[in-house]
Structure 1
Amino acid sequence: MWAYPVGFTVLPHVGGFLGWFVNRKEIPVWYEKLKKPSWCPSQKIFPVAWTVLYTGMGYASYLIWNDLGGYSSKAVVPLGLYGAQLALNWAWPPFFFGACNLKMALIDILCLDALAIGTVCSWYRINKVAALLLVPYLGWLAMATCLTIRILEGQPRAETREERIRAGQK
């Protein structure tokens, strides 16, 4: 039946699209003003990269679900790890773009990294192809984590409200 592979493959795209849709106005306004390292990918690469990555992730999750016979007790940990990392993946754009909170985005992506690695490790014993389909995602997450750190480090230190008051500003 084709509905299961298609459904699993489309699912990651749903959250990714919603994250983009909700935060799309902040990208040209806020993100473009940030100081970014020279190796920061062009904005044109992100939609292409995420389409490929989400497709691979989604299909890989179908392979795991299928190999474990659906939602069984054996599937709780491997699909639970996948679901948790996917939720953190979807949470990153609202932290970064929506709330403009670079520290929360960094905490999110560090937790996401750990869960994504855990997902790959748990999947490798079940289906090596599914685990290997997540390797490009791990590479992209490594780059995104480094980029988040560099962007956070590159911004001028934001003064607190109390520091502005002490300096005689409002």
Structure 2
Amino acid sequence: MNRILIHILFIIAVLGCGLLIGINNIPGEWYQSLAKPAFNPPNWIFAPVWSALYIIIGFVGARTFLNYRASAAMRFWVAQMIFNFAWSPLFFGFQEIALALIVIIALLISILGFMAVSRRQDYLSALLFVPYLAWVSFATLLNTSIFLMN
């Protein structure tokens, strides 16, 4: 299959799944009622940030699939997608702040694992995950703060 087509398919799949999960797990009254830290960003910022990150994640996933399909990097990439897609339903859908915190920590670890093993074989992919790592680190701090405050 054409490499460009694989990149497009990965981006569409990741972005599409992320948007579908986001639409079905919109922060509602429950979330609004929670105590949140002063650094909690406005709700409108999450959709554009995640959309940009999902495009990057899809691009990196395609690169890894095409070049290192049977590698530890691909396994970490799949793991981080599972944790990523599990977080919103746990936090917003099931309102399980503690369980969501465990999942986001696992997500953070899997992102770091991906970056560590990719750095040697595909430095660009590891580098492209830096904004994702920064955002998930911030989200982990936010999840932790909400857990402790509620």
1:8 partner amino acid: F
* Maintained 8 Å contact 1:67/1:126: no
2:82 partner amino acid? A
SS in 2 for 1:30: helix
Specify the alignment match of 2:128 in structure 1.
Answer: 133
The Cα offsets for residues 132-153 of structure 1, whole Å up to 9 and x where unpaired, read as 1100000001100000010011
Gaps of 5+ in 2: none
Q: Which of the two has higher C-alpha Rg?
A: 1
Residue 62 of structure 1 pairs with residue 57 of structure 2: no
Q: CA RMSD in A?
A: 1.2
SS at structure 2 position matched to 1:44: helix
- Equivalent residue letter for 2:85: W
* Counterpart check, 1:110 vs 2:105: yes
Match of 1:51 in 2: 51
Q: Which amino acid aligns with 2:53?
A: L
Which residue does the alignment assign to 1:30? 30
Post-superposition CA distance 1:22-54 (Å, at most 9, x none): 222xx1321111111111111111001001111
Identity, in percent, stands at 30
Pairing 1:1-170 to 2, within 5 Å after superposition: 1=2, 2-24=4-26, 27-68=27-68, 71=69, 75-155=70-150
Normalised TM-score (structure 2): 0.93
Three-state SS of the structure 1 residue aligned to 2:43 is coil
1:36-75 C-alpha deviation (Å, 9 max, x unpaired): 111111111100100111111111122222233xx3xxx2
**Would you tell me which structure has more helix in proportion to its own residues?**
2
Deviation at 1:10, TM superposition (A): 2.0
Indicate conservation of the 8 Å contact 1:82/1:115, yes or no. yes
Q: Deviations over 1:59-107 (max 9, x none)?
A: 1122222233xx3xxx242111111111110000011001101010001
Aligned-partner Cα distance in 2 for 1:127–1:49: 24
* Cα distance in structure 2, aligned partners of 1:76 and 1:126: 10
Conserved in 2, the CA contact under 8 Å of 1:116 and 1:138? yes
2:97 alignment partner AA:
L
**Structure 1 contact 64–126 (Cα < 8 Å) conserved:** no
Worse-matched range after superposition: 49-58 or 1-10: 1-10
1:18 is displaced (CA, Å) by 2.2
Query: When the two structures are aligned, how many residues end up with a matched partner?
Result: 148
Matches of 2:42 and 2:83, distance apart in 1: 23
CA distance in 1, matches of 2:76, 2:15: 18
